[in-house]
Each structure stands twice: as structure tokens, then as C-alpha cells.
Amino acid sequence: MTQASSYKPVSPLTVLWCGAFIMTISLGIRHSFGLFLQPMSVSNEWGREVFAFSIALQNLVWGLAQPFVGRLADRFGAALTMIGGAVLYTVGLYLMADAQTPSMLTFSAGILIGLGLSGTTFPVVFGAVSRAMPPEKRSMAMGISMALGSLGQFAFLPGGLYLINRMGWSSALVVLACFASLIALLAYPLLKRKLKPGKGMTPAATTPQPSTVATAAVASQPPEQGMWAALGEALKHKAFLMLSVGYFVCGFQIIFINIHLPSYIQDQGISASAGSAALALIGLFNILGSYLAGLLGGKFRKPMVLSAIYGLRGVLVIAFVLLPLSEWSVYLFAAGMGVLWLSTVPLTTGTVSSMFGVNNLAMLGGLVFLFHQLGAFVGGWAGGWLYDTTGSYTIAWWVCVALSVLAALINWPIKEQSAKPQHAIAPAT
């Protein structure tokens, strides 16, 4: 059997496992940032809004850069994009460890780490995984990737707290920078490697001959869209915009809880270790939630499953706010929220792939993710602002409930169908 390319192919399983462990590190470090709010703020004599703003900006930069970084991954390969993201992530963490002014924290934690995350998380990894997998296995593969990515939150949170307590927040960030550099090593196997002449190749492989079947297949496919054409088509698609609004809600809720939950429960007299354990439980149960989301997304309409997730989040927040607060109520809330946490990600990306295919998935996944990060910016910053203004998080919690209702209603009518039915390729005869 001859090869029609001079590049050594990367196996689907290699793409799946490398991508999953890249997200394990990237998301694990990112989810530990909430642990640094109090020690950095106290050490530098800042209000909570300073740290909250830098993390909110991080999410905004991440989202704004994502469609363009996704385009780079679609055009030049996910591996190079991930390596570049790893470099920015590592440098950002190292500079964050020495941040002594709000401007330095904004530059390191906000801008550099935000850019680094855009190259090492969902849209780029899911784009690579989706292209490597057959259509019937994409939802499950993305669910597995997200589940393993959640393992990082479970592992890095108690590890981060241990490092802070043992070494101080600055040295802990240096250690996390070392972990971030490992992302480049995991991305390296995904690089396409040129084959040397004679190694796995034949003369026919270097100069493939056209065939009637191949010519017909190429002729039946629409020409590849340019970046702006693909973005314009998505932004004119009503269902895509509805999906994006729901994703805005997801970003608001996740970042608000991730940044402010540890401080919220400490304000109520519960220990910092309980806050770390709660975030770790969210990561642990998100493994189950992401796997179930991938499974359910292959059996039911993905927008319908998204509506259920957003609705259940609202119910969970209501119970958490109204019932008496204790360590056990915190742990139960964290476990329930963990099942619903990032289970929206494979479902949302899967819906985008159903609408627009996989050729521009990293870019279009990045576009819908931009809305997620706009929500994350508002949720992260507004949580700190509302606390500094009112002295409590009560209003922010009820905003989370109202947004859950909005997201549940807006996702339900979305149809999971191609945006270009006229481009469907007729089945082979």
C-alpha cells in the first residue's frame, strides 16, 4: 500500500491522548488561580478587584485571540499552535510570580497567560481531535478529552494549595510555570514529520496518480472558505448566535465560581482548605460530567442536553444560597456543579461541527468560545466589583440564577443541522 503524502501520519489515538493531557495541564493550572486571590491581594495590599480584573482580562484576551489562533491551527497545524501557546503560558506564569504592581499582574496573568491559553485549550485541541476521528466518534472523543482535561483541576488544586502553604505564592507560580512548559513536549508528537526518500514511500507515493474516484470526490466538495467568509457566515446564522449567548452564560458562571467560591466560603467562616477541596471536587466530578455529555450528545440533540445542564445549574445555585452553609453543603454543591461544569464544551463544539463541518472548526469553535470568554470577563470582574461595592456576593449569585434560565430557554429550540444543506455530498453509489 502506498502513501499519497510525504508526511508521516499521526494516529487518532495519539492525537486524542496528547491533546487530552495538554488540556490536563493547561486547565489544571488555570483552575488553580482562585487560590492565589487572597495571598497575592494581602501580600501586595490590593483590593480583590485588582486580582479579579487581571483574571477577567485573561479570559477576555483568551476569547478575543481564540478565533485567530484557531485559524492558525486550521491552516498551519494544531501542534505548532500548541507549542507557541505553551511558551506564552510559561513566560506569563513566571512573570506573574514576580508581579508586585497591578500593571505587571495585568500584563502577565491577563495578557500573556490569556494568549497562552488560546493555543492550549478547547478549540485548538478539539479541532485536532475532530479531524482525526470519524464523525460517529467525535462526540465521544471530545467527551473523553474533556474528562481527562478535568483531571488537571482535581490534581492541580490540592497541589497548588500545598505549594502555596509550603513555599509561598510566588514560588508556587514558578513551579506551575515548569509544568506549563511540558505542554510543548506533549505537542511535539503531533507534528507531521517528513519521510525520508525510501522510508515508507514508493515512487508512486511521491507522485500520486489521479483517479476517477478521487477527482469526483474533490469535484463534489465546495471550495474551502476564507477566514472572513467563514466568520461572516457563522455570525449571520441565528442558531449559532443563540448557541453563543448560552455559552456567554457558561463563561460567566464558571469563572465567577472558580475565582470567588474559595473567598465566599472563607467569608462565612469556613476554612481555605475547604475551598480548595471544593474546586478539586468540581474537577473530579467534571470527569464524569464530561464523559456523560459526550455520551448523551451522541444519543440526543446536543442543544436539548445543554438546556438541561443550564437549568440544573440554576437549581443548584438556588439551593446553595438558600440552605444553611456548611462544609458538607459546599462539597455537595461542588460535586453537583462539577457534573455540570465543562460538560457544555464538547456539546457546544459538537453542535458547531454539525452546523459547519470540521474544516474551520478550530476557528469557529474559537468564535463561539469568544462569547464564553466575554461572559467569563464579566463574571470574574463583576464578582470582585460587587463584593467591593456591596460587601457580599449575594447579588452575583442571583445573577447566575437568572442567566441559567436565559441559557436554558435559548438553547432548547436550536436545530442541530448543517448550515449548508446544499453542500451535502451525495452518497457513493
Q: Each residue of 230-275: pLDDT tens digit?
A: 777 777 778 888 999 999 999 999 989 988 888 889 888 888 778 8
Q: What pLDDT score was predicted for residue 275? A: 81
Radius of gyration of the chain (CA): 22
Between 32 and 154, name the one with better pLDDT. 32
What DSSP state is assigned to residue 299?
T
Average pLDDT, the chain: 81
Between 131 and 99, name the one with better pLDDT. 99
Tell me how far apart the terminal alpha carbons of the chain are, to the nearest angstrom.
Answer: 24
Query: Is residue 174 pLDDT above 60, yes or no?
Result: yes
Q: What pLDDT score was predicted for residue 173? A: 96
Window from 70-74, 152-156, 180-184 with minimum mean pLDDT: 152-156
Grid cell, residue 246, equals: 448560552
3-state helix, strand, coil in the chain (%, to 5): 80, 0, 20
Query: Is residue 150 pLDDT above 50, yes or no?
Result: yes
Grid cell, residue 429, equals: 453509489
Q: Each residue of 284-313: pLDDT tens digit?
A: 898 888 778 878 887 888 899 999 999 999
Window from 148-162, 196-210, 340-354, 377-391 with minimum mean pLDDT: 196-210
Amino acid code (one letter) for 407:
A
Window from 29-33, 72-76, 222-226, 343-347 with minimum mean pLDDT: 222-226
Q: Are 114 and 264 in contact (CB under 8 A)?
A: no
What's the CA gap between 367 and 146, in Å, rounded?
19
Q: What pLDDT score was predicted for residue 227? A: 66
Grid cell, residue 3, equals: 502513501
Q: Sort 229 into a burial class: Cβ within 10 Å, 0-12 / 13-18 / 19+.
A: exposed
Q: Which residues contact 22 (CB under 8 A, 6 or more apart)?
A: 82, 120, 125, 183, 186, 187
At residue 194, the 3 state secondary structure works out as strand
If you average pLDDT over residues 393-411, what whole number do you get?
Answer: 94
> Shortest CA distance to 360 belongs to which of 344, 349, 347?
349
What's the CA gap between 155 and 420, in Å, rounded?
42
Q: Are 107 and 403 in contact (CB under 8 A)?
A: no
From residue 412, alpha-carbon distances to 136, 165, 232, 239, 323 in Å are: 23, 45, 24, 10, 29
- Tell me the angle at which helices 37-44 and 238-267 cross, rounded to the nearest 10 degrees: 60
Q: What pLDDT score was predicted for residue 164? A: 92
What DSSP state is assigned to residue 101?
S
> Shortest CA distance to 394 belongs to which of 337, 330, 320?
320
What's the CA gap between 416 and 2, in Å, rounded?
38
Tell me how many degrees the CA angle 253-258-259 measures, rounded to the nearest 5.
105
Residue recorded with cell 444553611? 324
Confidence grade of residue 141 (pLDDT, cut at 50, 70, 90): confident
* 218, β-bridge pairs: none
What's the CA gap between 396 and 401, in Å, rounded?
9
Confidence grade of residue 422 (pLDDT, cut at 50, 70, 90): very low
Query: Is residue 183 pLDDT above 70, yes or no?
Result: yes
Most confident listed range (43-57, 82-96, 124-138, 149-163): 82-96
* 193, β-bridge pairs: 8
Q: What pLDDT score was predicted for residue 5? A: 52
If you average pLDDT over residues 170-179, what whole number do you get?
Answer: 95
What's the CA gap between 124 and 81, in Å, rounded?
8
Task: Please give the model's pTM, rounded to 2 decimal places.
Answer: 0.70
Between 62 and 88, name the one with better pLDDT. 88
If you average pLDDT over residues 388-414, what whole number do you get?
Answer: 92
What's the CA gap between 65 and 116, in Å, rounded?
10
